[in-house]
Structure 1
Amino acid sequence: MELETIAKALKELGHPTRLAIFKRLVKSGQQGIAVGTVQEELKVPGSTLSHHISSLASAGLIKQRREGRTLFCVVEYEKLLSVIAFLQEECCADEQ
């Protein structure tokens, strides 16, 4: 994965509110969670939440799906694992 892509993902996760949102989405698993539920649980105003979700989506960390009138957010676990792998790939390489 390219350095710029990893940097964008880490930048978006570097904001406390986005990190809290992302952590809550990770907790919800593959089925995702309704945006309204995230708003209620984290007490984030709707417009603010929308902005942060948009930032996470633009970094490829989450995707959204609509079921009727409800919007769900789901973590892109493959992207998350790629970011983690990037950070770990050369772990302890200089210890020889």
Structure 2
Amino acid sequence: MQIVSTKLDNAAKSLSIVSNINFDQFEQFAQPLAAAIDCRIIEKHWGADRHQWLLEFEGTILELNYEFYGDICWLSVENPADVEVLAYLQTLLRPTV
């Protein structure tokens, strides 16, 4: 898993993750990512052009999404107060390239 960059968007309650992700091998990216940020994987869903995983970090529920056509990956939270969790997780995802 190589992280190129991350960007926190407080208004959207999301953390964008730029990396070289292969849609068909998303699990090879997502499992190490979840481990790197110490998240438990709750559920995995996927469709024709999107992966969506439900994760848990110290009581906070996160969604990990990846859309094939936009080549976009992000973590999101529902509760605005949980954006601080995304800010913390961003510190764990330093660029590796």
State the TM-score, normalized to the length of structure 2: 0.31
Which of these two proteins has the greater Rg computed from alpha carbons?
1
- Larger % of helix: which? 1
The normalised TM-score by structure 1 is 0.31
Greater share of strand: 2
